[in-house]
Amino acid sequence: MPTYHNAGGGYPNVSAPARQAKLDGNQNHHTIPSNVTSHPLIQNNTQQQQQQQQQQHSVPSNLIASSIPSHPVSPTMTMHSSVTTSNITTHMNTTSSPMILTSNTINPGATTALPANPRHEVKLNAMPWFHGKISRETAERLLRPREDGLFLVRESTNFPGDYTLCVCYQGRVQHYRVKYKNNQLTIDDEEFFENLALLVEHYEQDADGLCTQLTKSLPKQGKQDFCVDPKAFVEAGWVIQTHELELRECIGKGEFGDVLLGVYRGERVAVKMLKDNSEAAQRFLAEASLMTSLIHDNLVKLLGLVFNNQHMYLVTEYMSKGSLVDYLRSRGRLHVSKKDQINFAYDTCAGMAYLESRHVVHRDLAARNVLVAEDNSAKVSDFGLARDENFSLDGGKLPIKWTAPEALKQNFSNKSDMWSFGILLWEIYSFGRVPYPRIPLADVVKCVEKGYKMEPPDGCPAEVYDIMKQAWDLQPEKRPSFHDIKVTLGQLRAEYTKVVN
């Protein structure tokens, strides 16, 4: 029967011995919980569960969801697609709320043709009922009016890493511990679930030993958490079979793990490898889900994902000349022409203008996160945890010298990306120097907030420096759009082409 945190209370569907057995002494919550995704979740289903899953998804036999080898993923990942329509948010949303991108890894990488298979966008699923790290008292204060079946899920404060299902019944709030057992979630040691979404869905359909059936969720205000469905990549046509990918040498390091050179269908590709089974799995799949919906010539292209027993691989086109900052530093003035510089600036701006048109915010635009292809075209990379602003963002260290003043306070927008683009332009025309070269890092923010702007690099065209200064306006609304700057850079690029020819 469900383990529940309050003593007493008479429920017609629960016997007295069962109620006593549910007591877990979780009356006081003082310990600090670990991260919501700190526990691994292994997709080890029983044979019966696998057969049920195959019946739920009518996909080709060689790509059935259960044929994906066992792989550790985040406990908050949805493992099947039966999520209510109201809980689904797609990357195609073009409402006013921007989506957010965070940097993950630098993957040096030449352009590879996409496989011929039909592809579809992979969606992120919201968990509006998940409130994260709130206390027992806060949950009880939020759950009003006390309608039977009103519920939320929070992190357990007495059992870090576990969760608590809080349900209203007969004017009180009952708290059920959701614990891990054999890498699955359970309340009663009888019913086991791969993730929170499935657990909630089960008790929405049947009380099954709880004080009452879950009938209405209390949505979290502001930024919400989400879950990603690994099987959705199968159904959307993004899974690459293990035997199709040949792995070669390591070509870089990233947040998730190594970045390897690979060969897929006779072409070189870049392969990001996820090594661990922590929350990185969720971030990893979020990156991939975003890349299924954002396709542009100046964005690094996703080719697919590989699932096997040890790792997940994210396969992208290979950009043979590496990161823009390394390219600029290694070749310098002798090999990087003014035409090259304006082309790099235009290509990056074109990619960012596309993101802007899709209401997507990158958050870490810099020359290190732009890659150079064999034909010298530049493409924006590092598509990380991308969500609209209603979803939560993980905190982390911000690249201070590239970040707009308001974004240092977490107010990211396309305008803060424009600030970063101004810094990137300075990098291009200084051949990869570190910004604010004569100012200690600790003093950069103070200087910038007082209105300080870097001087133009040697040889920088006045028109380009003017774009930098516009991008560094302290008032975000006064900064230009990427669309407008793309037009300006396009005109400059045409002029350079005429001069060269």
Cα torsion 47, 48, 52, 54 to 10°: value is 20
Nearest to 403 by CA among 493, 328, 304, 476: 476
Is the preceding omega at residue 145 within 30 degrees of 0, hence cis?
yes
According to DSSP, residue 254 is labeled B
* Phi and psi, residue 175, nearest 5°: -115, 115
Give the residue numbers annotated as catalytic, written as ranges: 364
Size of the chain in residues: 501
For the beta sheet containing 258-264, the strands, ordered from the edge strand earlier in sequence to the opposite edge, are 245-253, 258-264, 267-274, 312-317, 302-307
Q: Does the annotation place 272 within a ligand binding site?
A: yes
Pairing of strands 370-372, 378-380: antiparallel
CA neighbours within 13 Å on the CB side: how many for 34?
10
Strands (E), 182-244: 184-186, 192-193, 216-217, 225-228
Residue 33 near residue 161 (C-beta atoms within 8 A): yes
Tell me the backbone φ, ψ of residue 306, rounded to 5 degrees: -120, 130
DSSP for 164-190, please give it.
EEEEEETTEEEEEEEEEETTEEESSSS
Partners of 116 in beta bridges: none
Q: CA-to-CA distance for 472 and 480, rounded, in angstroms? A: 10
Is 369 annotated to bind a ligand? Reply is yes
Identify any residues that bridge with 273 across adjacent strands, giving them in sequence order.
313
Q: 247, 268 in Cβ contact below 8 A?
A: no
How far apart, in whole angstroms, are the C-alpha atoms of residue 36 and residue 155?
Answer: 7
Does the annotation flag 390 for ligand binding? no
Place of tokens 């530093």: 329
- Does the bond joining 115 to the residue before it have cis omega, within 30 degrees of 0? no
Q: Is 249 exposed, middle or buried (0-12, 13-18, 19+ CB in 10 A)?
A: exposed
Annotated binding site for Mg(2+): 369, 382
Q: Which residues are annotated as a binding site for ATP?
A: 272, 368
**Positions at the binding site:** 272, 368-369, 382
